Amino acid sequence: MSFTIAIDGPAAAGKGTISRAVAAHFGFAHLDTGLLYRAVGAEMLAGTEPVAAARALRAEDLDAAALRSPEVAQAASKVAAIGDVRAALVDFQRAFAARAGGAVLDGRDIGTVICPDAAAKLFVTASAEVRAERRYRELLEAGADTNFAAVLADVRERDARDMGRVDAPLRAAADAVELDTSAMDIDEAVAAAIAVVETAMERGTG
């Protein structure tokens, strides 16, 4: 069975955690497409031309712990605005989405560009302040030297760049179900996402 779930949303909205939980619940494969751009961004920081890095990307390049640093996150957002980088990564993502056994992909343009025909689509969001607070706590736990104002400014900067880019801007697909996690804990958010997918499954077999 091939059943694709597309989960989009801005930084720190919870889409990654929700996507992993949804994939585990249904026994589907999961791809955090942001890691593709982080891997390219990391290569750019190391001096590699972004388009060349995207074209040479391999699945094993997505496992590096260094891809989770704030510097790489910013670089990822910058390379994601390059049309040729996005084009180079489309086939990788679509092949993953079409795999037998079902797949969950999370990112910023899955439901609108990569998998417009996905069987289930969610747009996970939260207020900028809530997302910044989540990211701030993560950074403090990781021992980072930062402050809330800087993290909030970073979140808003990424939102503006992701939503304002010409190629595949961040937006909800017209047929996506919006899930605002601002006032939800993770268990509530995961349960809500699973309910959306189950409804889509019932619709597909009804």
95 is in an annotated binding site: no
The residues that bridge with 86 in the sheet, in sequence order, are none
78 is in an annotated binding site: no
Cα–Cα distance for residue pair 100/29, rounded to 1 Å:
9
142 is in an annotated binding site: no
**Coil vs helix vs strand at 19:** helix
Cα–Cα distance for residue pair 56/124, rounded to 1 Å:
30
Place of tokens 């980072």: 144
**Coil vs helix vs strand at 146:** coil
Q: Which residues contact 185 (CB under 8 A, 6 or more apart)?
A: none
27 is in an annotated binding site: no
| DSSP-derived pairing of the beta strands 29-32 and 120-125 | unpaired
121 is in an annotated binding site: no
143 is in an annotated binding site: no
* 23 in Cβ contact with 190 (< 8 Å): no
Cα–Cα distance for residue pair 119/150, rounded to 1 Å:
38
41 is in an annotated binding site: no
Binding residues for ATP are 9-17
Binding residues are 9-17
